[in-house]
Amino acid sequence: MNDLNFELIPTKKADAPSFKINGITVHSVYNPFSEAQKWAGQVAGQIEGRNKPDKIIIFGLGAGYHIEALTFLLKKEENKIEIEVIEPSEESFRFIENNFNVSELLKNVKLTIYKDASKISKKLELDRSNILFCELPSYKKIFSDIYDLIYKLYGINQFFSPSSFKVLVVQPMYGGSSTIGNYLYSAFLNLGYDAKILDFSKFYDAYKYMGEFTPNEDHVNSLKQMLVNIMSEALLSSVFNDPPDLVVFMAQSPASERTLLKLRSMGIKTAYWFVEDFRTLTYWNTIVKNVDYFFTIQKDDFFEELKNIGANNYHYLPLACLPDFHKKITEINKEDEAKYACDVGFAGAGYFNRKNVFAQLVDFNFKIWGGDWYAGMPLSLLIQEGGKRFTEEEAVKIYNYSKININLHSSMWHWDINPSGDFLNPRVYEILGCGGFQLVDRRRYLEGIFEDGKDLVVFDTVDDLRKKIKYYLANEEERLAVAAHGRETVVRNHTYERRVREMMNIILLDSYEQIRTKLIFKKENVSKLLKETEGNEELHRLIMQFSDKNAISIKDMADYIKRGKGRLSKSEAMILMLWAIKTKLVKLEGL
């Protein structure tokens, strides 16, 4: 907020002045102490009427009278609750500090001064539902824009819990984004979300087999499109049976316009994570218009393109590692060591530029893993297992047992190294997560994310790459120090759990009212069901199993009953019958 005007004003209490910000009086001009005690009593009343919070957020420091009254009241009643005060302006804090004695008060509370409102969403604490948010009424008027954002930020905790939010991750048939989707799904589960994954990889063999029926390329493409349409219908059938709150599509997953519009009509939020190079795969321009949120691993040029087609729902979300999976091997396996250990290693597909660069590294103890190489001598001697594709579990071993991991981003248009590459591929994060040392070609987005020479080492030319390979093979201690620091950086700042938080921050703050209404409605329905079934002990007991989730469906109850043992009660048998009828009706509707 710019151009703040301050005015110190007297009150009826000589020892308790007030002040104005932009003409609005912050505290009562009659008795600020009495006003503060009344405000503190109201906040204390909220504490008594709910589960005791472990933190109170107060929007507005003001002269501190209200905070003093609240801390006194909480101390008197022996309530040990953390208090954080948010002051929405550096300028207002300086005025308060110069005109009021708040130094003692600030020893007992945490003060947060927001310098940049655009960074507020990064403070979202979705795993904390025991926060009470309150405000100094005058600040709500003076700093209305910032207040609205912070109100949502902390108000979310009053109705949102990951376990009550259903997420469906939709995979493509094949490709790198399928693997990333698995990691994203794991991260949702790790953070406590009610998450499921829809994996279409089993359709891939049929997709490839379509070419066996006819040599006509148009016919083959038509058959393949029919299969994609079937997958879209399968997705809708799954959603009809068990509606999620959010569907996250990975790049190249079956997301037809009809499917996306149908999900929107059902009140289901949709997100699409385009983990591809927008210059290579251009179908994004048809997807972005039909999803609620479009996440990308590129910005700058890509954002300009998106802006040019009228899109405004795009957000930058870089890749990451999954620390539970991409980790350092602490116990050496002799068999794995013999197979994977080398001075220089690379795991990835044989793109044109990589073949040209790696052909100039054949004099090193170099092992290349992956498919699509079709390389001639002498490079072919470095290809492991005949160019067989490796699993993600094998990639972890490659990154661990290679002294130096080369990470050259692929390019179909450059002879060797792309001088203007931007996005970072998954390998950047995964090698670091495994504690591997990495030599990576210079990329625009490395700056400010990882530090050259401290987290990893950047090369610019093939000659530069060769020199750095020799240097770091000869300087093991330095190499290990860089790898260790890189691992600390990536685990601290670049995990898929962190990406889930960033994604959900954006979605929840943007769709605050819709999601709030939906989740509160679910919670009220559970409470209503519990009350209505008080006379039916067995049904009431069954519904109680879902009270902590704040949501319940027939499918939830049916799944719970199927996991049980022993004879079915009448209520359980009735629920299973209702679920069977519902699934039959869904199938009929899809005909």
pLDDT tens digits, 343-382: 999 999 999 999 999 999 999 999 999 999 987 878 999 9
User: Residue 452 phi/psi, 5° resolution?
Assistant: -60, 130
pLDDT of residue 544: 72
pLDDT tops 70 at residue 49? no
pLDDT tops 50 at residue 18? yes
User: How much is the average pLDDT of 487-499?
Assistant: 97
Domain boundary among 143, 158, 173: 158
Determine contact, residues 572/542, Cβ cutoff 8 Å: yes
Tens digits of residue pLDDT in 184-200 = 999 999 999 999 999 88
Domain boundary among 158, 191, 224: 158
pLDDT of residue 231: 86
pLDDT tops 50 at residue 588? no
* In-domain check, residue 532: yes
Same domain as 101, residue 139: yes
* In-domain check, residue 549: yes
Q: What is the mean pLDDT of the chain?
A: 88
Domain that holds residue 527: 515-589
Which CATH number goes with the domain that contains 294?
A: 3.40.50.2000
Share of the chain above pLDDT 90, in %: 62
Same domain as 150, residue 211: no
Of 174-183, 293-302, 330-339, 436-445, the one with minimum mean pLDDT is 174-183
* In-domain check, residue 325: no
Domain boundary among 98, 126, 158: 158
pLDDT of residue 589: 44
pLDDT of residue 561: 78
Token pair recorded at residue 577: 């019958």
pLDDT tops 90 at residue 518? no
* In-domain check, residue 170: yes
Q: How many CB atoms lie within 10 A of CB 308?
A: 9
Same domain as 54, residue 86: yes
Same domain as 376, residue 448: yes
pTM of the model: 0.81
Q: Please count the structural domains in the chain.
A: 4
pLDDT tops 70 at residue 550? no
pLDDT tops 80 at residue 68? yes
Q: Can you tell me whether residue 359 is helix, strand or coil?
A: coil
Tens digits of residue pLDDT in 236-250 = 888 887 899 999 999
d(CA 185, CA 244) in angstroms, rounded, equals: 14
Same domain as 484, residue 351: yes
Same domain as 484, residue 379: yes
Same domain as 88, residue 169: no
Same domain as 173, residue 41: no
Same domain as 139, residue 193: no
Beta strands in 251-296, from DSSP E residues, in sequence order: 269-274, 293-296
Same domain as 151, residue 180: no
Determine contact, residues 109/85, Cβ cutoff 8 Å: yes
* In-domain check, residue 509: no
Same domain as 356, residue 207: no
- Residue 172 burial (CB < 10 Å; 0-12/13-18/19+)? buried
Which CATH number goes with the domain that contains 117?
A: 3.40.50.1100
Question: In angstroms, what is the C-alpha Rg of the chain?
Answer: 29
Same domain as 309, residue 294: yes
